[in-house]
A and B are shown apart, each in its own frame.
Chain A
């Protein structure tokens, strides 16, 4: 039980999906259709998270879905901090989960 893409055949709005788009997400090949966002393609597989938070190392995925919360950030083709809910997938995109750990305090410093 989880997020899914409503199949075009069952969709009451009589939708026709276009060309397939294949992207790599953390090394796994996922297929969507042209025009889907990166978040949409990942969510359609039932996966809900693809970022690890800096302070608490907690999983995050889509929260606001409209580019406001920045929870869904991914690295796309080596470029970090891309909002997966806004970026439409391009065939061949290499998407990697983002985890920016907090800097470790140096021993002997005031924080350390």
Chain B
């Protein structure tokens, strides 16, 4: 029986774990959180039960059924609070996966090194928020933060909140806020209506098999109408104001390229603003394991969700931003294949059909809501671009102008942008875009650098130096000894 390691217990990872079991694999499922579900099914802990928690979620019954099934299966070992901090390549196995198990960022966590026969990467994505003046003020949040706090804690980030950026994700963010009792004063989509229509409208028959998506969207729209939330297209938050917290924002109309249009500014009083312009895949583990990327920088996969490295598979948002249904379809194909399931089996046919349908949906998503280059037009020279190192737009441009190099690595070192503790997760892609537009030839030489993080999360030196612990962790709901554990 193949030992299949699934990294990430969101929709893709859960589907992968279930499919790997169906194909007869022995499964280890890791997640850095202490609960399953990922960001999509982020929910309250067991200590805060809610009778009607499903009101906050789409596909809640799908999730709870999957969770029940995996938790009760003696051949599935679930390790939560498990942070993968490094991946090594070694002979004889597709990867050696180094894990710390214990409370987030605590010293003295238990160390594991897993040597599975196959790995499914299902690490998901996080919000991409473009910089704007004042985005470093407390009270400015990503859309994901508003959602996580609302669904995972029942905290509203403010009482009077503006939601802005790009993409259909803005709608569930607004829904989460209203369900937590906040007033959403508006949702601003930067793309213009004509762009949205162009992205979504061609070949509508391709969408015929994506009912689930339509239902999900209809739910958000109904919430919008019920709460009379204005939805405006072609408008963006171009600045946030306040001394030590946000008190107002400036919005402006933007053209099709997202360049702000002078004279259209308006001030809106808010106590919080949630801004997301899309998602960035969490690629560092897949990159460390040797997986190749596509030109638009997702993990490259084949028909069985296999990567270019034998034994390594990828599913969900790291292969392209496509939402929960695509993630689950890919997960089921990846898990099945990773466990050695025959590729032509009818068990995976349904997954393949769903994957094809929702990929068409994902392509439209990008065409309609993708980031356009004019956003740099709302930056001024003092705007912080790198939040960690507090590198301004002016300083970043100055670093590029002072040298003839086109190396991202070199420009990061001279400007300090993207070198802080978040390891460039927040600003990396924005820094690249700004620099690429600034250097000779309009292209950086080593553009993949921003996603490479050999040490995937900060780890305490004491833990790095500590004796390796041979015992398996004790904090997981189901346990079975795994032979391929070397630490």
Contact = CB atoms under 8 A, between A and B. Distances in A.
A79 B154 CA distance: 27
Interface string A60-76: 11111111111101000
A60 B50 contact: no
Nearest to B147: A65
Contact of B387 (A59, A71, A82, A85): A71
Interface stretch (A11-19, A22-30, A104-112): A11-19
Nearest to B180: A6
A56 B155 contact: no
B104 interface: yes
B185 to A, nearest CB: 12
Contacts of A69: 142, 387, 422, 425-426
Interface residues on B, range: 35 or more
Given A15-B44, A88-B34, A58 B136 contact: yes
B269 to A, nearest CB: 9
Interface residues of A, number: 55
B105 A14 contact: no
A63 B126 contact: no
Interface stretch (B51-59, B256-264, B311-319, B475-483): B51-59
Given A14-B50, A48-B139, A82-B104, A88 B45 contact: yes
Interface string A16-59: 11110000000000000111110110011000110001111011
A16 B245 contact: no
A69 B66 CA distance: 30
Contacts of B341: none
Interface in B103-139: 103-107, 126-127, 136, 138-139
Q: Which 9 A-B pairs have the closest CB atoms?
A: A65-B145, A35-B45, A48-B138, A86-B104, A15-B50, A35-B47, A14-B51, A49-B138, A18-B47
15 contacts: A3-B156, A15-B50, A19-B47, A33-B48, A35-B47, A37-B153, A62-B157, A64-B141, A65-B141, A65-B147, A67-B104, A71-B387, A82-B105, A86-B33, A88-B34
Given A34-B47, A62-B157, 16 more contacts: A3-B155, A6-B180, A14-B51, A15-B154, A17-B48, A18-B48, A19-B47, A40-B149, A63-B140, A65-B145, A65-B146, A65-B148, A68-B422, A69-B142, A70-B422, A79-B107
Interface of A: 1-6, 8, 10-19, 33-37, 39-40, 43-44, 48-49, 53-56, 58-71, 73, 79, 81-83, 85-88
